[in-house]
A and B are shown apart, each in its own frame.
Chain A
Amino acid sequence: MAAPSVVREALAVAVVANLPVVLWGAPGTGKTSAVTALGAAVGLPVEVVVGSIREPSDFAGLPVIRDGSTWFAPPRWAERLAAEGNGLLFLDELTTAPPAVQAAMLRVVLERTVGDLALPEPVRIVAAANPPDQAADGWELSAPLANRFVHLTWSVSAEEVAEGFAGGFPVPEFDVKDTAGPAEVAGARALVGAFLRVRPELVLAVPDSPERAGRGWPSPRSWELAARAVAACAHLGADEPVLAELVLGAVGEAAGFELLSWRRNLDLPDPATLLDDPEARLPERLDRLHALLGAVVAHVRSDGTVDTWQRAWTVVARVARTAPDVAATAARSLARCRPEGATLPRAMLDLAPVLRAAGLLR
């Protein structure tokens, strides 16, 4: 679980980027006040609608007979948002509302219509919910509704509460108008698309258990949310933990972490290019260097020619200058897949001191 400040920032980024968010948290942890404060800070009028004290007709519109036909009159909060043209609709207590009311709220989130009134596109939707194990009368979200939200887990830390009481709770400063452009969104979609090409089994994974169905799960729609989150974070300069919260919240933990680690390794050079270009940049962190050399060895093993095998040794020799132990680990597995007729290169001799120190060379 991420730090509360990260979740706050993730919420702000999602609101600016117009991603529907649901905040999961215990009652009394300041979800409502955080959302109203955020609305005030970014200059959006906030309408708080508490689901558990409403009736379905408050979301589906009240049927009135006018001129001999039935009109579904929208409530005042919806009219205010429509008149304003933008704003922040905060659906509180989403899961403690009775199922009939939840079904009516679902339509507001899905189709952005209240009765006969359509909410304007710039209206942001934020929902809050208590996890079923914390609210006695709570329900899990249905899988289709859960799939339309970015799920953020709201928590509080004693330290931040203490600071907030003393000096006010921090509100991230973002400009609502300053959103990622079409080019940036297209770039992010291309990134997610490239990832899904590598891991096609993650495109759609319908959850198999009721408690998992109530959170984010991968589907083309939630990958779209994830792509927009990537674009928004890049545009607003948000840190990687913030992006991680949003991506994991959209597509769920398992698929989200796969995307994040794949994105991490994007800047690692491809083994084939590394063998062709002896000057290619090498990563600095040892564990990534180790992963890269592992990929090189696997490439050499599948290639199986003497030439590739010998070029791999030049890479090992380069690594040996800065990280002899990483190089030696790779060298040992490289030596094991020596093709017929190849001679052991000089680089192996350079590694003799570290191998001897480790007691691996007799």
Chain B
Amino acid sequence: MTATEGTEAVGARIAAARLWAAHQAPYLASALFALNPVILDAGPVADPRFRGFPADTRWNVYVEPGRALATPVEEIGWWLLHQVGHLVRGHADRSPTGDDAGHRWNQAADAEINDDLEADDLAGPAGVVSPAGLGLPANRTAEEYVPMLDVLADALGRGGGALVEAIDCGSAVDGRERPYEDGGGLGRLDRELLERSLAAAIQERAAARGDVPAGWRRWAEDRTRPAVDWRARLGAVIRLGLRTVAGQVDFSYRRPSRRAGAYGDVVPPSLVRRVPETVLVIDTSGSVGDDVLSRLLVEVTGIVRAVAGPGRRLRALCCDARPYPVQEVRRASDIALVGGGGTDMRAGLAAAAALRPRPDLVVVLTDGDTPWPERRPAAHVVACLIGAGGTAPDWAAVARVPAGAS
């Protein structure tokens, strides 16, 4: 067989593998056809871990001719699907830096992808990481699999066995360039457009037929509606609340105006900004965990202090079914969380409104499982809802915070 004939045979085999993969997972067809096979003519790669069909971050898949001709079509197709998984899940960008992290990350990333492939009855070839095969829970992220695999490998290592065979998936996994790579391929913009259209196609298909595995549906949802960083959202909502109430800029004669020079004998007033009075209302009912609350309190007091200035006293009010006495503190850690019964934020908000000096901004930390006042209180209200369940009325600015926030 001549070289050209060989290349043609490899090309035909890749085409057949792509067709097989597109048949098995029609929702990934556009991504499969975007993969660009690069045939390595220069001879076998001298890396013992070069055992599959590695990819780089620019959607090139590297194919060793000998291996392609020796591997069954279904297995090549499986590797193509697997690499699409690495690429669209952005494993190269998520990869931990540090030299020792290298191969464990590859295995963890494999585990993240392979459970979704198995959910579609696409079991991988022998020797690849599979959460089900290793007795690990499915549907976790690679970051979660890393410590699990560490523990497993440690236990197996003491018995003299290895966890799984080492197979390198290329720079698509860790972003470190391999010697056999060339520079071509899709640019950043192409990749972004490709991923977006793939996510849209998956969602369309999931809505029409419902034959898309849950892992891919979740990916598509996250991709089209990226998760908002709850810290940024919380900061934005509280800052906006402070700005709304702090808009009461006033003229005062306490300090001379910088314009005074232009007026001569007239003494003009200068602008002063009042620092808004902020009150925290903390839901201490049984349904809200103390550790979540204390973490949130640090965030909230940090934001308020950054905006209102350092060294200010902050008033906090714990509330379950009834409000507890108000506490004046300087640090979040000084707040004593008291209570633990039922929930009624109406009582807490009423108690906050009765405070003197009157509060301008009330920040409510709650799980939202509470009755709310029917009418808008006089103060601006920011509600930090812990967890996904609760609701808040229209007149409150809402920031949702995950219950397991860290």
Which A residues contact B (CB, under 8 angstroms)? 2-3, 55-57, 62-64, 98-100, 132-133, 136-137, 139-140, 209-211, 240-241, 244, 257, 260-261, 264, 285-287, 289-291, 323-326, 328-329, 332, 353-355, 357-360
Cβ of A291 and Cβ of B189 under 8 Å apart? no
Cβ of B33 and Cβ of A64 under 8 Å apart? no
Contacts of A285 in B (CB 8 A): 34
Cβ of B12 and Cβ of A329 under 8 Å apart? no
Give Cα distance in the complex from A99 to B31, angstroms.
48
Contacts of B189 in A (CB 8 A): 240-241, 244, 260
Cβ of B239 and Cβ of A139 under 8 Å apart? yes
B58 within 8 A of A: no
**For chain B residues 221-251, which have a beta carbon within 8 Å of chain A?**
228, 231-233, 235-237, 239-240, 243, 246-247, 249
B259 within 8 A of A: yes
B372 within 8 A of A: no
Instruction: Contacts A99-B243, A137-B307, A210-B236 given; indicate if A359 touches B73 (C-beta within 8 A).
Output: yes
Cβ of B306 and Cβ of A137 under 8 Å apart? yes
Cβ of B232 and Cβ of A211 under 8 Å apart? yes
- Can you list 9 contacts pairing A with B, beta carbon distance less than 8 Å? A2-B188, A211-B233, A260-B193, A325-B15, A325-B16, A325-B18, A332-B23, A357-B13, A358-B73
Q: Which of B15, B194, B228, B246 has the most CB of A within 10 A?
A: B15
Out of B29, B74, B188, B240, which one reaches A210, CB within 8 Å?
A: B240
Cβ of A261 and Cβ of B193 under 8 Å apart? yes
Cβ of A132 and Cβ of B30 under 8 Å apart? no
Cβ of B188 and Cβ of A241 under 8 Å apart? yes
Determine chain A's interface SS by DSSP, over half rule.
Answer: helix
Give Cα distance in the complex from A56 to B192, angstroms.
42
Cβ of B273 and Cβ of A55 under 8 Å apart? no
Which B residues contact A (CB, under 8 angstroms)? 12-13, 15-20, 22-23, 29-31, 33-34, 73-74, 77, 187-189, 192-194, 196-197, 228, 231-233, 235-237, 239-240, 243, 246-247, 249, 258-259, 262, 271, 273, 306-307, 397
Residue of A nearest to B196 (CB): A257
Give Cα distance in the complex from A344 to B340, angstroms.
73
Cβ of B19 and Cβ of A355 under 8 Å apart? yes
Give Cα distance in the complex from A99 to B246, angstroms.
9
Contacts of A55 in B (CB 8 A): 258-259, 271
The 3 lowest CB-CB distance pairs between A and B, nearest first, are: A357-B16, A287-B34, A211-B236
A-B contact count (CB 8 A): 118
Cβ of A62 and Cβ of B259 under 8 Å apart? yes
Instruction: Contacts A240-B189, A287-B30 given; indicate if A63 touches B262 (C-beta within 8 A).
Output: yes
Cβ of B34 and Cβ of A286 under 8 Å apart? yes
Cβ of B243 and Cβ of A139 under 8 Å apart? yes
Give Cα distance in the complex from A132 to B188, angstroms.
27
Q: Which of B22, B31, B246 has the most CB of A within 10 A?
A: B22
With A133-B232, A358-B77 already in contact, 5 other A-B pairs whose C-beta atoms are closer than 8 Å: A210-B237, A211-B228, A257-B192, A285-B34, A357-B16
Cβ of A358 and Cβ of B235 under 8 Å apart? no
Cβ of B233 and Cβ of A287 under 8 Å apart? no
Contacts of B193 in A (CB 8 A): 257, 260-261, 264
**Min distance, Cβ A107 to any Cβ of chain B, angstroms:** 16
Q: Which of B33, B197, B240 has the most CB of A within 10 A?
A: B33
Contacts of A2 in B (CB 8 A): 188
Give Cα distance in the complex from A211 to B397, angstroms.
12
Cβ of A62 and Cβ of B73 under 8 Å apart? no
Give Cα distance in the complex from A353 to B20, angstroms.
13
**Min distance, Cβ A291 to any Cβ of chain B, angstroms:** 7
Residue of A nearest to B224 (CB): A254
Cβ of A324 and Cβ of B307 under 8 Å apart? no
Give Cα distance in the complex from A206 to B66, angstroms.
57
Residue of A nearest to B225 (CB): A254
Residue of A nearest to B266 (CB): A65
Cβ of B307 and Cβ of A358 under 8 Å apart? no
Cβ of B306 and Cβ of A325 under 8 Å apart? no
**Min distance, Cβ A335 to any Cβ of chain B, angstroms:** 13
Instruction: Contacts A136-B306, A140-B239, A257-B196 given; indicate if A286 touches B33 (C-beta within 8 A).
Output: yes
Cβ of B239 and Cβ of A132 under 8 Å apart? yes
**Min distance, Cβ B244 to any Cβ of chain A, angstroms:** 10
**Min distance, Cβ B235 to any Cβ of chain A, angstroms:** 6
Cβ of A99 and Cβ of B247 under 8 Å apart? yes
Out of B17, B33, B236, which one reaches A140, CB within 8 Å?
A: B236
Cβ of A57 and Cβ of B33 under 8 Å apart? no
Contacts of B228 in A (CB 8 A): 209, 211
**Min distance, Cβ B31 to any Cβ of chain A, angstroms:** 8
Give Cα distance in the complex from A324 to B306, angstroms.
62
Contacts of A56 in B (CB 8 A): 271
Out of A210, A241, A358, which one reaches B19, CB within 8 Å?
A: A358
Give Cα distance in the complex from A276 to B193, angstroms.
30
Residue of B nearest to A241 (CB): B189
Give Cα distance in the complex from A290 to B19, angstroms.
12
